[in-house]
Amino acid sequence: MKLSVNFILIATLLVVGSLAADHWTYSHLDEWPINCQSGKKQSPIAISKRNAIRIDLKKLKFDNYDNDDIKTTLENNGHTGGGLSSTYVLDNIHFHWGSEHTIDGGRHPLEAHLVHYKQTCGNMVNASNYPDGLVVLAVMFDVACCTNKDLAIVTNSVKSVSKNLHSTLRIQDDFKPEVFLPDNTKCYYMYTGSLTTPGCNEVVTWLMFEDAISISQTQLNQLSQVYTDAGKLLSYNFRPLQELHGRKVFYTSASDCD
């Protein structure tokens, strides 16, 4: 599978609700659309390495992820809250604190979602109508003592949009999407699921890297200083774990991923 970056990378601080109504909250999950409550392929889920099925998941190919000539924007929208052969284009990057998925019972302090749409679909809206329309890379973060300099461009820009609902800030400095990828991209899990926000479209192939990226506590605090349309600090923006309903979770069989 090839993952590409288009000419404009929209890196959103909060979960994008562009496929559904904007007025939803994490405190009233019972008000989410019916598909979110009754769907059988919902995300996020609890990952168990022991129970994952080992298969030959092919190496991912990242095109233009090292390109620092991509124009990027940050937006506060008030909510942020193996077998594939197609090319998928990076549409947006957003964050959840703490992590939405758990791995072997552990929840990380931060999870980034790199959302891609199938190139032949043309855009996110069209892709949301097809079972293989979207691929989301899930990247976990662990708190470390030192600042992650590669992420400083993003974390230092958050303050400018954190209290300005739907405001957009263009990042002038060079920005490479590869800073959101762990050094080791060979070891990852895969399963079929959904978007984790309304309308919870069950059109997502999830690829979740096993290795985490480091981030300082200060940077984590910066990313999570975001306010809702009600003017309240968004203390968390992760959806509760969903049932598997018989779905299989796969894990790469690469020899160096034991």
CATH annotation of 2-252: 3.10.200.10
- Contact, 90 vs 9, CB < 8 A? yes
Q: Strand 102-103 vs strand 46-47: parallel, antiparallel, or unpaired? A: parallel
If we measure between CA atoms, which residue out of 231, 173, 175, 137 comes closest to residue 11?
A: 175
pLDDT at position 212 is: 96
Q: What is the DSSP string of 11-68?
A: E-SS---TTS-S---TT-GGGS-HHHHH-SS-S--EE-TTTSEEE-PPPPEEESTT-S
If we measure between CA atoms, which residue out of 171, 205, 168 comes closest to residue 188?
A: 205
pLDDT at position 256 is: 78
pLDDT at position 174 is: 66
* pTM for this entry: 0.87
- Contact, 179 vs 214, CB < 8 A? no
pLDDT at position 22 is: 55
Cis geometry, peptide bond prior to residue 98 (ω within 30 degrees of 0): yes
If we measure between CA atoms, which residue out of 193, 208, 224 comes closest to residue 109?
A: 224
How confident is the model over 227-257, as pLDDT tens digits? Answer: 777 777 777 789 999 999 999 999 988 777 8
pLDDT at position 242 is: 98
How confident is the model over 14-49, as pLDDT tens digits? Answer: 333 233 345 678 888 998 999 999 999 999 999 999
Q: What span, in angstroms and rounded, lies between the C-alpha atoms of 87 and 70?
A: 19
220 three-class SS: helix
Q: State both tokens at 125.
A: 């809206």
pLDDT at position 70 is: 55
- Which residues have a Cβ under 8 Å from the Cβ of 172 and sit 6 or more positions away? none
What residue type is 239 in one-letter code?
R
59-81 burial, b for 16+ CB within 10 Å, e for fewer?
ebebebbeeeebebbbbbbbbbb
pLDDT at position 32 is: 92
The mean pLDDT values, 10 residues at a time, for the chain of 258 residues are 42 33 76 93 97 88 74 40 69 88 96 90 93 94 93 78 62 74 92 95 95 95 78 83 97 82
pLDDT at position 68 is: 65
pLDDT at position 99 is: 95
